[in-house]
Amino acid sequence: MFARLGQLVVHHPWKVIGLWLLIIVGVVAAAPQLTSTTDQSDFLPSHYESIQALDMQQKAFPQSAAPAALIVFARADGAQLSDGDSAAVAAIGTKLTDANIKDVTGLQTVPPSENRLIQIIAVQMTKVTSAGDMKQGDAVKALRDALKADVQGTDLKAGITGQAAQMLDQVESSNKGMAIIGVATIVLILVLLLIIFRSPVIALLPIITIGAVSSVVTGLIAMVAKAFDLKIDSSVNAILLVVLFGVGTDYILFLMFRYRERLRAGEDPKTAMVSAVTRVGEAITSAAAAVIIAFTALTLSTLGMFRALGPALAIAVAVALLAGLTLVPAIVSLLGTKVFWPSKAWQSEPKGARFAALGAALGRRPAAFALVSGGVLVALGIVAVGFNPTFDLSSGSTSDASESVVYNKELLKGMPAGATQPSDVLLRSTGGALSSDQLTTYRAALSTVPGVGQVAEPQLSADKATANFQVTLTSAPESDAAIETVRSPLRDAAHAAAPAGTTAAVGGMTAVFVDFQDAMNHDYAIVFPVAAILIMIVLALLLRSLVAPWYLMASVFLGFAATLGAAVLVFQHIQGESGLIFTLPVIMYLFVVALGTDYNILMVARLREEAREGNDPKQAAALALRHTGPTVAAAGLILAGTFASMMLAGNNVLSQMGFAISVGIGIAAFVMAMFFTPALTALLGHRAWWPGHGDEKSERGEAVYVPQGDGDRTLTAPSGHGRSNTGERR
């Protein structure tokens, strides 16, 4: 199949390029706009209590809402607010009201806090109707511009925080981060490919081709999201960028290594490209299948953000694969050997002395290599036990210097930590209006809950059958303490104190985080095993073995645990943060499992090929490391580097993702695939291939070709004729 594909592409390159151009134009023209959301409640199913509370609130109070933003005032010198200062705040509030700022529906000046360190103006805004609705963000910008002029000449300082301001700052931070990630990714790929191939043409090849097909990826994702009503998380765009360029560059790298190798074997450029597609096709298709399967397993998640993330990343990998097998070969077949310009290094085979020495050492002492590399994985894996999930997505996705973060800290000087996003306790009567005694008693019960700062007077619906008690917690709404308060004491008290004939539900952002934790625990039990089983099936089919998939997946699991342990060590123990972003284990697991399996496939397939040429297990492992090590190292370095660029985005969420995934890929390439897996395979010997005989030399002494995608040739040749006239193995 791949031979026919290679011939078709190489002999009709302009038609292939033209077809891709038509696809790009067609998809871009037909696709809707891809929008994302930062509202975490969008991602939960309706059976969770926080979503039921939100639904109850929207039905009972359709015109009511918590303040969209808070204008926070404090004295510039940090002293207490005087009566004159307070009067100045009230005057600014009146002036802002008279300004009639678009989409600002009301401003309410609140008295100073008890310690008189801060005073706020609560801002009501037009409700957001969709993920791409920027009305509130524009209103915050206008308020900030007006506020700067209003506080000039006073002893006050002021800034805007609250949900609308946090979302605006998060979007701006995300856009800035995306630009940084994009530039860093492209520069990294250019530099690394220049070092590897010494050719600006090859260095630009993935940038041009992947950049061209990226619009197809975005368009297809938008179509799928609209067709299946998927909610796209705001962080998906950054992940998509590095996945598309990182994985796509890896596939191009495998193809170009094989193309260069076939040219060195004496084939003409077009024949060499057909051979490259033929020999690399099964390797990168199997690798892509493992990645796509892992991502597709996310559709089993209960969380909408993961159900959308899985298909989005699967589409990106599938398009990168198709481009790597069609568009890139078409372009290279037109360029021929000019693709390596100005370097002449493609004409001679490098000696690879370092990997030859490493391979020889592994072949002599596979048990030592297995123990040392496995010991590193286990040691880091033990640290992973201390993992603590955190739900601070708002500040974590925004620079600490942003106005919403700075003035949220100012707010906490005079208000309970939960003031920015209070919890809502909804009480609904099924038998008519709620009595004043019921409301008073219920409010008193909520006020005694540990961790509750204050409970506001209840807001009644028009029919007085539903009451909303706004509960301000003593801890920040995304903190562990707040989550534990809502999970047990607040929800227990809300349900237990509900009068007969009523139902109660606890909502608000903290309640959403509580339900997120429960949903994540469900996903850990479902998504992880399903992804592992499906990838094991791919391994079994590719390697035709029932033994190898087990220890390959075991090594990948150790790699996952080690990666999580490294992230815990750096962020929780060294940097002293309270925890890691709660989505990290699922995202990290899928990348480490899928991409770690890719590198294991490359190494073990080469090892089997060396065994088929008559080498004993230890020697086969040594030769596999010698010949495949450079390709795995180059691919791992490029992919890890592209993900590491996320650490430059300037916010903690992307920094943690970038660090964890890049470290995971580094562990997969440089510990698992390069040392741990070949050492175990050497120790198991023939048993690794049970029940087949895939490692046995054929009776005619032929070296049976197994597509791998590494940088070395393998031709099916009679024994004694397996070398070219340059002395290289063919």
The per-residue pLDDT for range 312-327, each reduced to its tens digit, is: 888 988 999 999 999 9
Neighbours of 401 (CB within 10 A): 10
Question: What pLDDT is recorded for position 702?
Answer: 38
Whether the Cβ atoms of residue 265 and residue 273 lie closer than 8 Å to each other: no
Q: What is the pLDDT of residues 156-172, one digit of tens each?
A: 999 998 878 888 877 77
Question: What pLDDT is recorded for position 18?
Answer: 93
Q: What is the pLDDT of residues 236-259, one digit of tens each?
A: 666 777 778 878 888 888 888 888
Average pLDDT over residues 510-536: 84
Whether the Cβ atoms of residue 388 and residue 480 lie closer than 8 Å to each other: yes
Average pLDDT over residues 282-296: 81
Average pLDDT over residues 339-355: 75
- Residue by residue, what is the 3-state secondary structure of 322-377? HHHHHHHHHHHHHHHHHHHCCCCHHHCCCCCHHHHHHHHHHHHCHHHHHHHHHHHH
Residue 478 has pLDDT above 70, yes or no: yes
Helix (H, G, I), strand (E, B) or coil at 158: strand
Question: What pLDDT is recorded for position 238?
Answer: 65
Which range (12-26, 162-176, 697-711) has the least confidence? 697-711
For 595-628, letters b (16+ CB in 10 Å) and e give bbbbbbbbbbbbbbbbbbbebebbbbbbbbbbbb
Whether the Cβ atoms of residue 373 and residue 293 lie closer than 8 Å to each other: no
Distance CA 342, CA 345 (A): 9
Distance CA 281, CA 502 (A): 64
Residue 121: φ, ψ to 5° = -120, 120
Residue 504 has pLDDT above 90, yes or no: yes
Helix (H, G, I), strand (E, B) or coil at 123: strand
Average pLDDT over residues 57-72: 80
Q: What is the pLDDT of residues 641-650, one digit of tens each?
A: 877 887 876 6
467: exposed, middle or buried (Cβ count in 10 Å: 0-12, 13-18, 19+)? buried
- Looking at the chain, how many residues does it have? 730
For 483-502, letters b (16+ CB in 10 Å) and e give bbbbbeebbebbeebbbeeb
Distance CA 658, CA 242 (A): 10
Q: What is the pLDDT of residues 574-610, one digit of tens each?
A: 988 878 888 788 778 767 776 777 788 778 877 887 8
Which range (567-571, 620-624, 627-631) has the least confidence? 627-631
E strand or H helix that includes residue 467: strand 466-473
Residue scoring higher pLDDT (702 or 245): 245
Whether the Cβ atoms of residue 69 and residue 121 lie closer than 8 Å to each other: no
Whether the Cβ atoms of residue 222 and residue 316 lie closer than 8 Å to each other: no
Question: What pLDDT is recorded for position 697?
Answer: 60
Q: What is the pLDDT of residues 422-459, one digit of tens each?
A: 899 999 998 889 999 999 999 999 999 999 988 989 98
CA 357 from chain center: how many Å?
37
Side-chain half-sphere exposure of 223, counting CA atoms within 13 A: 13
First to last CA, the chain: 22
Residue scoring higher pLDDT (683 or 419): 683
Neighbours of 521 (CB within 10 A): 11
Question: What pLDDT is recorded for position 394?
Answer: 53
Distance CA 485, CA 246 (A): 42
